[in-house]
A and B are shown apart, each in its own frame.
Chain A
Amino acid sequence: MSYAYLFKYIIIGDTGVGKSCLLLQFTDKRFQPVHDLTIGVEFGARMITIDGKQIKLQIWDTAGQEAFRSITRSYYRGAAGALLVYDITRRETFNHLTTWLEDARQHSNSNMVIMLIGNKSDLDSRREVKKEEGEAFAREHGLVFMETSARTAANVEEAFINTAKEIYEKIQEGVFDINNEANGIKIGQQHSPTNPSLPGAGNQAGSASSGCC
C-alpha cells in the first residue's frame, strides 16, 4: 500500500458527460449505463505505476449540476490535476468548456494540470463535436487532449495516467512545491529524499545509504 507520491485529482464538466462513469471505469473496471446523479462529490482511488514508482491517485468526482457549482469550487485549490470532460454527442457541453476553464483557472493553483477529455467516443454516429475541434481547443488553452469512452474503456487508463505523467514531470522539473500539501501532492514514506524531520540516527543511516548508491 505504500506509495512514492500521492496525487489529488478532480473531475469536472457538465452534468451527464460521464464523469462518474470514467471514475468507475478507472477504479473498478466496470461501466454503469444508468445515469446516477452525483450529489456533491464522490471519492475514488487507485494505484498506478509511473517510471517504476508507485503513485496513488485520489480522485474526487464532482457534481456537474449548476446547483453544486459553489461546492465544486472548493475542490480546485487542493488538486494537482483536473480532468475536464465534455460529451462529444452534445455540442453544448463543449461550448461550456470556456466557463469551466475560467472557473478552474481562477480557483486552482497555477500549476494544476488540466486534461481535456471528449467522452463517449463509442457513440461516433451521434457525434456533434469533431475530434479536431477538441484538439484545437486544447491547443489554444494549453491543455492535453484525449477522446475516451467510459463504456468501452478506450483511453480511460491513458487519460488518468497521462495526467499523472504530466504532474510527475512537473515535479521532476521542480515546478511543484511538493512540500506544500495544498498543491494536491504528497510524498509517501517510500520516497522521502528531503525529509528534515528524521531523527539523528535515522538521518545518518539514510544519508549513508544514499551516499553508497
Chain B
Amino acid sequence: MEFLKSGFKTVLGATETGQQPSAAETVEKLVERVISSTLLDDRRDACRALKALSKKYRIEVGAQGMPALIQILKHDGQDSEVISYALDALCNITAAEEFDEEADNPAVSVNVGEQFTEMFIKVHDHVTLVMGYLEEYDFRVRRAAIKLITTLIANKTRDLQEIILVSPMGVSKLMDLLTDSREVIRNDALLLLIQLTKGNSNIQKIVAFENAFDKIFEIIQSEGCSEGGIVVEDCLILLLNLLKNNSSNQQFFKEGSFIQKLSPMFNITPETEEADWGPQKVSNIHCMLQVVRSLVTPSNQQQVISSCQKVMRKSKILDSLCSILMGSGVPPDILTETINTVAEIVRGDKENQDQFSKVMAPSYPPRPVIVVLLMSMINEKQMLELRCAVLYCFQCYLFRNEESHKAVVETLLPSSEAEGSSHSIGQLLCAGLFSTDSLANWFSAVSLMHGLVDSVPQKEELLRVLLATSGRSRPVTLLEQCTNLLQQDSYKQQSKVGLLMLLCMWLAHCPIAVKTFLSTNGTMAYLTAQISANEHDENEYLIQGLCAFLMGICIQFNDNSLPNQKRNDICQLIIKRIGQETFCNKLSEVSRHESYSRACKQPQIRTKSASDLLLDYEYCKLYKGLEALIAKLVSGFDVDGIELTELTLSSEASALVAQYKGIIRDLDGQINTLQQSSKKLETKNVELEHKLSQIQNLNTQLSDQNTLLKAQIGAVQKGTTTSGDEAAVNALNAAQFQTNLYYAENMRLTQELESLRKRLENEVQLSKTANDELQKLQKDQEDLLELLTDQETKIARYEEQLRTAGCLIENDDDSENNGDTKYNEVALNDNLVAAGLL
C-alpha cells in the first residue's frame, strides 16, 4: 500500500497534508492525465494508477475512465506496458466477481461488471480492438487481452459470440492461441474457448474445423491424461462443449478417428486400480465419461449414435468401461456415471447388448454383470443415483432387442428353474417386486415392464409364470400375484404405480393377457372402485388415472371371448357406475401429473428424491399412443349399447389400415413378378449349368491333352538332352532356331508352290482351250478329208464319165490334181503342229 501511495504522489503531485482527495477526484485527475498528457511516460503512469484503483473503486474508474482506457488501446499500441495496464483495468471493472477490496463499498451492486461490459461492447469495434491485441506476442498484453475477452464473454455470452463470429477470422485467431508455447497463455486460452463455445453451434463447428480435436488431445496427452491436473479437465470441458448436441462435430469426431483416442484414457491398469482416486482424477474421468455419452446419448441423430456405438465396441471402450464397472475402490459417482455411459453405448445396438450380457463379474461363483447390477438395484442400502443408473442400464440392454426380452422372461419360466440359481434376472426381479422396499418394488416392476415393450410373444410367455407360495398348495401365477398386491393396502403408492404400469404394458396389444386378467377374481371391481374414488391426493389421482388407462386397455384389446366381460359390458359398467365424463377425466390425470412431463423428456431417469420416481419414459410413450383412442372409444358408447364410432379403429387407424392394405397389395404384385422372374432365372440357370458342365468336360479333355503334350515334350527333351540341362537348352534353342529357319523356308516354299500352282492352273486352262481348238480342227480335217474323198470319187466318176464319153484326158491333169490335194494335206498338218505347240 505504501508503494501505491508513493506512486500516486508521483503521478498526482504532492497533496496538501491532512486533506485526502476523494476517490472520484483522484480518478478524475488520473483520467484527465491519460487523455491530455503528451508524454507517454505520464500516460503510462496514470494508467498504472487507474489499474491499481480499478478494484477498489471500480465504479469511479469504470464510469469516468472507460473512454480514456479505450483511447489508450486505440493510439498507444506500440507500448506494450501501457496497453497491458489498460487491458487489466478494463478487465477489473468488467469482472463478474466481487473483489475483496470493494467488499465494504455499498455502492457496488451485484451486476456492476455486467453493466460495464454492456457499455464496453456497445461499440463492436472495441471488441475487435482487443482481439487485435491477441496477436501481440508480448506476454503481458496477450494474457491481459485473453482475460478481458474471457470476462466479456462470460458476462454477455450471446452478444460476444455474435461479434466474434462477424469479426474477420475472429474464431481462428482465438484458436491460434492454443499453440502458444507459453503454458499460461495456452491454459487461459482454453478457458476463453470454453466460454466462447457455450451453446453456439456455429462457433463450435469453426473451432472444430481449426483442428481443435487434435490440439485438445495433444494437450491432454502432454498433461498426463486422466492422471493430469485441472488443465486436462478444462480440455475435456471444451471437448464436451464442442460435441454436445452438435451432430456435425460428432460426425467429424467419429470420422477423424478421435473415439479411438479416447479409448486408452479409460485403461485403468491394475497398478493404478489400488491407487487413490484423487478429486482431480475423479473430475477428469467424470468428464471423459460425459464426452463418451455426448456421442451416443439418445437425443442424437440415430445414424451418429449407431456408428459411434460400433466404433466404441471395436476400440474396446465398452470393454474398458465394463472393467471399471467391476473394479474395486471405484468412487460411487464414477461408478454411477460409468453405468449410465455403458447403458447408452449399449442402447439399441444388438452386438453391444450381446457383449454386455456376456461380461462376468469377478465374484464367486462368477455371475453375469447384469445380475450383479440388478442386485444393487433392489438393495435398499444402495445410493438412489446408482439404483436409477442400473435401471437405465437394464432398460438400454433391453431396448429394441427381442432376444434379451426373451432371455429375461425365460429366467422366470418353470423349465429354467431346475438349473437356475436364486440369482437369475427373473428371480431378482420377483424378489424386488415382493420386497418391502417400495423403491425396489417400483424398480423391479419397471424393469420387468421393459422386457415386454413391443413383444407380444413375451407377454404371452409371461402369463405362464408360476410362483411357489409358502403354505398354500396351489401355486399362483405372476399375474394373479400382481393383482393381489395391487389390492393390498400395505403395498405403497409408488409400488402400485409401478405395478399398474407393468400391467398396462403387459395387457396392451395382447388379447390373451386381457382375457386372463379379466378372468382373475376381483380385478374389475377393484378398478371400478379406484376410478370412482374421490381421494384428494395428487398421487392418488395418478393411480386412478393409471387404473382408468388399464381399464381402457381391457376394452381396446378385448377379443369379446369372455361372457359378461365383453367390450360392450365393460363400457356399460363405465357408463352406469363411473360415467363417461369422469372416466375420461380420470384417464387424463396421468398426463396432468408433473412426473409425466419429467418422464417424457428423456429415457434416462433423472431424479433427486426417491419419492419423485413415478412414471417411466416407455410407459408414457404407450400412454401417448393409446390415450386418445381409449377416450374416443369409451365416449363413443351409448347407454343402449350402440357404438357410435367404428368399433376398434379411429379414423387415423383405419386410414392407416387402408394404407397398409394398399402396400400389401403392391407387395403381392411385386412378389408375383419376382417369383416369375425367379422361375425364368432358374431355368436359365439350369441351362447355363448344363453348358458349364459341357465346357468343363471339354476343359478337362483339353487339359488332358495338354498334360499329354507336356509329357511328350518332356520326353522329347529328355531324349535330346545328353549333356546337362544347359547343353540341352542350348541344343533346344539351336533346334528351335533351326526349326524357325525351316519354318520360314517352308513358308517361303509354300508361297512359291502356291504361285506355281496358280500358274499351272492357268496353263491347264490354256491347254484345255487349246485342246478344244485342236479337236475342232481335227473334226474340220476329217470333214475336209471326207470332202476330199467325196471329191475324189466325184472326180473318178467324172473321169469315168469322161472316159465313157470318149474324151481323152491327160494323165498329167490327173496327177496335178493329186499334187494339189497333197499340198493341202501338208499345210493342214503344219497347222496342227502349230496348235499343239501353242
Contacts and interface: CB of A to CB of B under 8 A. Distances in A.
B202 A1 contact: no
A175 interface: no
Nearest to B211: A181
A203 interface: no
B169 interface: yes
A78 B214 CA distance: 14
A58 B169 contact: no
A90 interface: no
A77 B201 contact: no
Contacts of B249: 43
A40 B205 contact: yes
Interface string B799-838: 0000000000000000000000000000000000000000
Contacts of A41: 202, 205, 209, 248
Contacts of A182: 211
Contact of A43 (B165, B211, B252): B252
A1 to B, nearest CB: 6
Nearest to B215: A181
B255 interface: yes
Interface in A8-51: 8, 40-45
Interface string A65-101: 0000011011101100000000000000000000000
A78 B209 contact: yes
Contacts, number: 54
Interface string A187-212: 00000000000000000000000000
A128 B286 CA distance: 58
A130 interface: no
Contact of A75 (B206, B251, B252, B256): B206
A170 B201 CA distance: 34
Given A73-B168, A73-B169, A74-B209, A40 B202 contact: yes
A70 B210 contact: no
A78 B257 contact: no
Contact of A181 (B170, B202, B214): B214
Given A70-B165, A77-B169, A43 B257 contact: no
A75 B206 CA distance: 7
Interface residues of A, number: 21
Given A43-B249, A73-B168, A75-B206, A1 B257 contact: yes
Interface string B180-212: 000000000000000000000110011001110
A74 B255 contact: no
Nearest to B202: A40
B165 to A, nearest CB: 6
A162 B150 CA distance: 43
Interface in B146-187: 165-166, 168-172
Contacts of A71: 165, 202, 206
Which among B202, B249, B252 has the greatest number of chain A C-beta atoms within 10 A? B202
Contacts of B168: 70, 73, 107
A5 interface: no
A58 B255 contact: yes
A109 B600 CA distance: 49
B205 A58 contact: no
B255 A45 contact: yes
Which among B201, B255, B257 has the greatest number of chain A C-beta atoms within 10 A? B255
Contacts of A75: 206, 209
A19 B131 CA distance: 33
Main secondary structure of the interface of B (DSSP, over half): helix
A42 B248 contact: yes
Contacts of A107: 168-169
Interface string B234-276: 0000000000000011011001110000000000000000000
A72 B82 CA distance: 36
B201 A40 contact: yes
A60 B211 CA distance: 13
Given A71-B202, A73-B168, A73-B169, A78 B211 contact: yes
Main secondary structure of the interface of A (DSSP, over half): mixed
A78 B207 CA distance: 11
Contacts of B165: 70-71, 74
Contacts of B205: 40-41, 43, 60
Which among A8, A78, A107 has the greatest number of chain B C-beta atoms within 10 A? A78
Nearest to A60: B209
Nearest to A189: B257
A56 B252 CA distance: 12
Contact of A77 (B172, B248, B255): B172
Contacts of A56: 255
A97 B210 CA distance: 26
B442 to A, nearest CB: 42
A70 B214 contact: no
Given A1-B257, A60-B209, A78-B209, A45 B251 contact: yes
A74 B169 contact: yes
B836 to A, nearest CB: 82
A102 B249 CA distance: 28
A107 B172 CA distance: 11
B207 to A, nearest CB: 9
Contacts of B256: 58
Nearest to A41: B205
A40 B205 CA distance: 9
A156 to B, nearest CB: 19
A44 B249 CA distance: 10
A106 to B, nearest CB: 9
Interface string A140-184: 000000000000000000000000000000000000000001100
Nearest to A106: B168
A70 B166 CA distance: 5
A77 B211 CA distance: 12
Contacts of B171: 74
A57 to B, nearest CB: 10
Contacts of A40: 201-202, 205
A59 B251 CA distance: 11
B205 to A, nearest CB: 5
A182 B173 CA distance: 12
A65 to B, nearest CB: 13
A182 B165 CA distance: 19
Interface string A101-114: 00000010000000
Contacts of A43: 205, 248-249, 251-252, 255
Nearest to A1: B257
A142 to B, nearest CB: 24
A113 B166 CA distance: 25
A58 B255 CA distance: 8
Contacts of B202: 40-41, 71
A78 B170 CA distance: 14
Contacts of B172: 74, 77-78
Nearest to A61: B248
Nearest to B162: A70
Contacts of B251: 43-45
A191 to B, nearest CB: 15
Nearest to B204: A40
A178 B45 CA distance: 48
Interface string B311-340: 000000000000000000000000000000
B211 A58 contact: no
Nearest to A70: B166
B663 to A, nearest CB: 22
B291 to A, nearest CB: 18
Nearest to B200: A40
Contacts of B210: 78
Interface in B87-115: none
13 contacts: A41-B205, A43-B205, A45-B255, A60-B209, A70-B168, A71-B165, A73-B168, A74-B165, A74-B170, A77-B169, A78-B172, A78-B211, A107-B169
Interface of B: 165-166, 168-172, 201-202, 205-206, 209-211, 214, 248-249, 251-252, 255-257
Given A58-B255, A73-B169, 6 more contacts: A43-B249, A70-B165, A70-B168, A74-B170, A74-B206, A78-B209
User: Which 6 pairs between the two chains have the least Cβ-Cβ distance?
Assistant: A45-B255, A43-B248, A40-B202, A74-B206, A43-B252, A70-B166
